[in-house]
Amino acid sequence: MSIPGLGQIPVQTLTSSTTRTVTLRPAWEWRFQVPFDRTVVVKVRSGTAEKDGVELAPGNAYSFSGVVSKVLSWHGCELVVEGRCSEDSVAEFDLHSSSPGAVPGTRAGAKNPAMSHVNFHARLTEMRRGAATRTGPRVLVAGPPASGKSCLVRTLASYATRQGYEPIVVNADPGEGMLSLPGSLSASVFASVMDPEAVDGWGPTPTSGPSVVPVKLPLVYCFGHRSAEDDADFYKVLTSKLASTVSGRLSEDEAVRKSGLIVDTMGAGDSNIDLLAHVVDELSVNIIVVLGDAAVQAQLAKRFATERTSLDEPIHVVGLDRPDGVVKRDETYLERAREQAIKEYFYGDGRKALSPQIQQVDFDALVIYKPSDATPHEPGRLLKHDPSSVMEHWTLAIMYASVKDPPEVVRVAAVMGYVYVSNVDENRRKIKLLAPVGGRLGDRPLILGTWPEPYMNLLG
């Protein structure tokens, strides 16, 4: 008997390609792109290599699909690559040289920009070691879109966990989810390795099922929009709520307090500098890293030149080299990635299949809210919304709240999980929902946001 919707997950088979060896010298990178309909398997035959700071185990087969990424080797390695990439190349760098010695138009003699990231990590390690009685470094990574912010955040978090630290990672960009679906803000303690094979690079969540990579337990809030500017006032309210919970964890857990936090953000520009500044203030950020944008760096440096954190520390604004070779992901890729994230939330990825539950519920058994036009006095305003056919193929957030709670309480509650609307029968007043686990849905209010947008029918 087939499981409804399981056929929506493509069987990922290797295309007709040969197995080849990629040789990396110290500080070199292998950069690769794999479409969603292909799989490439990579093994480290000899030497050492890492992806986003996660060390790849020698001889272990890592499968990649739908990724734009790179493998870096600090000491040199040989990779065995099986499968066909849409694009791949080897970037050659000099481990000890500086870029002024480079020949124009080539990388010969150039230093890998990742060196500045390693040096920055070393500085953070010194600060963590000195945080016996105070909070460790609180780092916010800013920069223009497609500047490698998320990659740097994952790398810094990975390096920290490899040294035994347990930083909190905060995602303040609603456009892309971290351990959750897009449209959310989230935070999680990272005390163990991430999953290098994951499309988003973060790894499994409690709904992902059994995993060889330790599951992370994120705190998630529903923003429900693609961009922070779509409801700036409510974005401030929600980041303040998130910051309050994060601050509580920092004060209660000594290991986490010493490790500090790392914040990923949306693309910086003139339109959202005030929102970035709000995140800095609420999370008591004391180090702002700007990737490859002197104008944004100067703007933030001027903004925080005389300000201090809630712990009475100066706020340092530093520029780091933008990761070399960052590829701008087009809207088609981003849409496919969001689609894949939703599918995997309910059905698992190619490595493991999940069996979500289908429920048919009466309209009257559910309480569904939808964001309305916000006012200065009511940011994130919610209105009750009757089920209708326009909801089909949307995801709804299940809130940690009671159906009896007022909308202003529901709006800032944490997210318990998500359900997918498969079908709405307005004549029979029935709605068919797909949930990752069984259980009654009428006990919790649901929120229908404007993001992520609806996709094809997961149930076929």
Q: Which residues are annotated as a binding site for ATP?
A: 29
Q: Give the residue ranges of the annotated binding site.
A: 29
**What secondary structure, in 3-state letters, does the chain show?**
CCCCCHHHCCCCCCCCCCEEEEEECCCCEEEEEECCCCCEEEEEEEECCEECCEECCECCCEEECCEEEEEECCCCEEEEEECCCCEEEEECCCCCCCHHHCCCCCCCCCCCCHHHHHHHHHHHHHHHHCCCCCCCCEEEEECCCCCCHHHHHHHHHHHHHHCCCCCEEEECCCCCCCCCCCCEEEEEECCCCCCCCCCCCCCCCHHHCCCCCCCCCCEEEECCCCCHHHHHHHHHHHHHHHHHHHHHHHHHCHHHHHHCEEEECCCCCCCCHHHHHHHHHHCCCCEEEEECCHHHHHHHHHHCCCCECCCCCECEEEEECCCCCCCCCCHHHHHHHHHHHHHHHHHCCCCCCCCCEEEEEEHHHCCEEEECCCECCECCCEEECCCCHHHCCCEEEEECCCCCCCHHHHHCCEEEEEEEEEEEECCCCEEEEEECCCCCCCCCCEEECCCCCCCCCCCC
